[in-house]
Amino acid sequence: MVLNSSNPKTVVAWMAALSVGMGSSSDGLFFVAAVLTCMLVGFLVNGMYSLLFSINGVMNVYQKVAHWVERVVSGIFALAGLGLLRSAFSRNPA
């Protein structure tokens, strides 16, 4: 938890996930459920990574394709960021 909380990319990604699902009328119970869901997803994904990369040869394959994976993921993050900026500027002022 400390490692994920200290990683700025992780914090921004979870904040974006929560902000997409929450509206101005969301109550505290919805927020707690959303945070608990994000925690569960985080544990499951990290557990999956641990299991996957403990298999012999998986790390070697990943190291061979890492540059392509990083390019695709960075493109996805850039598109998501642009989408968030677009939605922020398209909102009507309250």
Mark whether 68 and 50 lie in a shared domain: no
H runs (alpha helix) in the chain: 2-6, 8-21, 28-53, 58-90
What pLDDT, on a 0 to 100 scale, did the predictor assign at position 94?
58
Mark whether 43 and 63 lie in a shared domain: no
How many angstroms separate the CA atoms of 29 and 55, rounded?
40
Mark whether 4 and 17 lie in a shared domain: yes
Mark whether 44 and 74 lie in a shared domain: no
- Over the stretch 32-53, which tens digit does the pLDDT of each residue have? 888 888 888 888 888 898 899 8
Mark whether 11 and 48 lie in a shared domain: yes
What pLDDT, on a 0 to 100 scale, did the predictor assign at position 79?
93
Select the highest-mean-pLDDT range: 51-55, 68-72, 87-91: 68-72
Range of the domain at 24: 1-54
Mark whether 69 and 23 lie in a shared domain: no
Mark whether 72 and 48 lie in a shared domain: no
- Over the stretch 4-35, which tens digit does the pLDDT of each residue have? 667 777 777 777 777 776 766 778 788 888 88
pTM over 0.85: no
